[in-house]
Amino acid sequence: MPRVSFAFFIAAVVYGAVGMVMGMVMGASNDHTLMPVHAHVNLLGWASLAIMGGFYGVAGARAPIKLAWVNFVVSNLGILIVTPLLAVLLKTGNLAVVPAMAIGEILLILGMVLFGAAVVITARRPASTGFAVA
Ligand code: HEM
């Protein structure tokens, strides 16, 4: 499995653990103000990054590894910008964070586009294993 795949999984586990702790705190305190942050840390951080890491792991040497690393950096930056700012927005209602959040959101979309490009590039490369690719 390429190193980039491990990087995706390690990051995914960190976000997953943070998201789960947030869920426990929300449940215990009955304060669900940060529920959208919990949902997005889990879905963008744990679920999306694990899916991407899984793809790069399965694709192996066929995957465009440099593009995968760019995908990793861009997607993580997006999560690290958007989720704390969303928490600030929900807790304070301060709309001044919205422009910075928009930058993070664009990075998240760019990360998904880069992932899509990596999938297409991988699909167009010949399989090195000799097995039939359906
Ligand atoms: C220890 C693990 C977890 C705990 C204790 C937990 C707890 C919670 C709680 C208390 C809520 C608020 C429900 C409400 O206000 O109605 C919630 C909402 C949510 N959680 Fe979690 N959660 C956990 C893991 C996850 C994971 C792994 C994901 C996704 C991969 C996830 C996705 C969501 C989503 C999308 C919502 C919003 C649901 C809605 O809008 O009705 N959670 N969670």
| Residue at 81 is within a domain | yes
Q: What is the pLDDT of residues 92-114, one digit of tens each?
A: 999 999 999 999 999 999 999 99
| Residue at 105 is within a domain | yes
| Residue at 134 is within a domain | no
Tokens of 80: 């690290």
| Residue at 95 is within a domain | yes
| Residue at 15 is within a domain | yes
**Cα→Cα distances 4→8, 40, 52, 60, 131, Å:** 6, 22, 10, 10, 24
**pTM of the complete model:** 0.91
Q: Is 23 in the pocket of ligand 1 (CB under 6 A)?
A: yes
| Residue at 9 is within a domain | yes
Query: CA–CA separation, 120 vs 117, rounded Å?
Result: 5
Q: Is 39 in the pocket of ligand 1 (CB under 6 A)?
A: yes
| Residue at 22 is within a domain | yes
Q: What is the pLDDT of residues 48-97, one digit of tens each?
A: 999 999 999 999 999 999 999 999 999 999 999 999 999 999 999 999 99
Choice from 25, 32, 42, 79 to test ligand 1 binding pocket (greatest atom count within 8 A of CB): 42
Task: Give the structural domain span for 10.
Answer: 3-124
Count of domains observed in the chain: 1
Nearest CA to ligand 1 atom 35: 39
Choice from 21, 25, 38, 79 to test ligand 1 binding pocket (greatest atom count within 8 A of CB): 38
| Residue at 28 is within a domain | yes
Q: Are 114 and 70 within 8 A, CB to CB?
A: yes
Query: CA–CA separation, 114 vs 118, rounded Å?
Result: 6
Which residues, 6 or more positions from 98, have their beta carbon under 8 angstroms from its beta carbon? 89
